[in-house]
Amino acid sequence: MDEADVRELLAGVDDPALGDDIVSLGLVNAVELDGETARVSLALGAPYSPQESAIARRVREVLADAGLDADLTAKLPDQSGDEVLPGVKNIVAVASGKGGVGKSTIAVNLAAGLSKLGARVGLFDADVYGPNVPRMVDADEHPQATSQETIVPPEKFGMKLMSMAFLVGEDDPVIWRGPMVHKVLTQLVEDVEWGALDYMVLDLPPGTGDTQLTILQTLPLTGAVIVTTPQEVALDDARKGLRMFGKHDTNVLGIVENMAGFRCPDCGTLHDVFGAGGGRAFADENELPFLGSVPLDPAVREGGDSGKPMVLAEGNETADALRVMTENVANNVGIVHRRRVSR
């Protein structure tokens, strides 16, 4: 058996999301045979994505059926040129067109959910004017400065954290003009020792202002998640956020519908407090992936106030919805990379 034989075996492994086999799609970077071991480099870029894990598992099965041990590595081509955050594989921005839709809650639970899957995660609270992330994860440590004047971020729930809340007083308002926002955000990106991360989750402020523009112009975003609630007034603002990312050629990974419905704990009846189905309809209208609906659940608020992300809970309908959302985001990160490689 030689390299051509191994590639022929791998041609039997399909990528369901892209609708072809991994060899035809160009997702097999290299094959090397060493005795009974096949070393295969795959163009997979979303660590712990269920879809990419399934592809790797299928590759191992195909090789094992042929009597070969699989030694798999994942590497995307042309990934070494980014000078900004070179150790971060994927940067995912969480955005909303307006405040009050639970964007920070989704960002925190997405980051914690990715960490729970096993990924190396950073959570960057870029909501300069309303930084809430430290409270939402009960961060009891502050960043430390090194002798080289860099910043070592604290960690919680396996996530490295950075927030404007660490740099200002607890009750001090942040009253800054655009140039100062740009300067501080740039410093928090460049001077923080983020290290090697599979995912960095950015909690953007609501709207389409200076902070969003700085992020879009400074960081190589893998994609953005747009958070909305079901009612039309929220969807109107979500459209503005969608257009903002479109103007900057940023991939939109999908739409999350938050506060989708409240299930009465006494009678079990589902109440659509903010309407129903608006987020899914918005995703369909714009031909975007729908990442999931998250119920309106008092336990989410309690988790945010107490610093325990809901996604980490077990045996709970809302926690399950947040885990589905997390897996869908990771899957779509992988699709973005694999589609780029296959073109």
Q: Is 104 annotated as a binding residue?
A: yes
| Helix ranges (DSSP H) in the chain | 3-10, 50-65, 103-117, 133-136, 178-190, 210-218, 232-247, 278-285, 298-306, 317-342
Which residues are CB-neighbours of 218 under 8 A, at least 6 positions away? 84, 185, 186, 189
The answer to whether the CB of 331 falls within 8 A of the CB of 50 is yes
Q: Is 183 annotated as a binding residue?
A: no
Q: Is 101 annotated as a binding residue?
A: yes
Q: Is 62 annotated as a binding residue?
A: no
Q: Is 308 annotated as a binding residue?
A: no
Whole-number Å distance between alpha carbons of 252 and 203: 15
CA angle 199, 201, 203 (to 5 degrees): 175
Tokens of 24: 């035809």
Whole-number Å distance between alpha carbons of 259 and 307: 19
281 to 271, 276, 284, 311, 337: CA distances (angstroms) = 19, 10, 5, 25, 26
CA atoms within 13 A on the CB side of 152: 6
Q: Is 97 annotated as a binding residue?
A: yes
Which segments are annotated as binding site for ATP?
A: 97-104
Which segments are annotated as binding site?
A: 97-104
